Amino acid sequence: MTLSLRALSVATILTLGSVSGAAVMAQDNPMVGGAAMYADKNIVENAVNSADHTTLVAAVQAAGLVETLSGEGPFTVLAPVNAAFDALPEGTVETLLKPENKEMLTKVLTCHVIPAKALSTDIVSMVEADGGEHKVQTVGGCELTLKADGGMVTVTDENGTVANVTIADVMQSNGVIHVIDAVLTPKM
């Protein structure tokens, strides 16, 4: 399956972050998975250094998305931590990583990618403007629902899986990463 993110139009901007009444400011070189994330490196260059994202990196490699996510962008990546993959039913990750399941793996991963650079500072106004939740389309064709409640931002996939944003606004040369605690999946 060939995926050309540049061919996709930006229909909406996704923003995520921790909401506490004040705007969340991006940190210079925040630590993710024990490694500093550098704004002058791309999504893949930073992700490979995070000890919390080894499963995600392996999946991106198996799906053949390294070149795409190293490209110009801009991208917003919702990056599940290893524990999120570990929480999937037993054998799910191993099955998805098999070469014969590359198309499904690509679909799952691209449900974590928005074809725009979106920062957390916009989410409060977007959620408020939309009456408490904001819908966004992903590169993989998934529709995610964003909510902000009690100082937490959540992302809900089409199957009802809720992911919490645990680290927002990890700036990249080709977009931004928001760390999440669950794997989002396409409609089953």
Residues whose CB falls within 8 Å of the CB of residue 88, separated by 6 or more in sequence, listed in order: 183
- Span between the terminal Cα atoms of the chain, in Å: 19
pLDDT of residue 152: 79
Q: What domain range is 74 assigned to?
A: 5-180
Q: What is the 3-state secondary structure (H, E, C) of 56-115?
A: HHHHHHHHCCHHHHHCCCCEEEEEECHHHHHCCCCCHHHHHCCHHHHHHHHHHHHCCEEC
pLDDT of 53: 95
**Would you state the pLDDT for residue 124?**
67
pLDDT at res. 13? 28
Q: Please give the C-alpha separations between residue 168 and each of 18, 84, 143, 162, in angstroms, as whole numbers.
A: 7, 17, 20, 16
Assess if residue 176 is contained within a domain: yes
User: Has residue 171 been placed in a domain?
Assistant: yes
Quick one: pLDDT at residue 123?
Answer: 67
Q: What is the pLDDT of residue 148?
A: 82
> In this structure, what CATH number is given to the domain that contains residue 11?
2.30.180.10
C-alpha to C-alpha distance for 114 and 138, rounded to whole angstroms: 5
Q: Is residue 167 part of a domain?
A: yes
Domain presence at residue 156 = yes
The total of structural domains in the chain comes to: 1
| pTM given for the model | 0.83
- Bond preceding residue 99 cis, omega within 30 of 0: no
The predicted structure's pLDDT at residue 167: 92
> Measuring CA to CA, which residue among 50, 17, 57, 53 is closest to residue 31?
50
- pLDDT value for 106: 97
Confidence at residue 119, expressed as pLDDT on a 0 to 100 scale: 80
Instruction: State residue 79's pLDDT score.
Output: 97
User: What is the three-state SS of 161-177?
Assistant: CEEEEEEEEEEECCEEE
Per-run averaged pLDDT (10 residues), the chain, 188 residues = 28 31 50 90 93 96 95 94 97 96 97 88 77 93 88 89 93 94 93
Q: Is residue 186 part of a domain?
A: no
Question: How confident is the model at residue 149, as a pLDDT?
Answer: 78
Kindly state whether residue 49 falls inside one of the protein's structural domains. Answer: yes
Question: Does residue 24 form part of some domain?
Answer: yes
183: Cβ contacts below 8 Å, ≥ 6 apart: 80, 84, 85, 87, 88, 108, 161, 163
The pLDDT of residue 118: 80
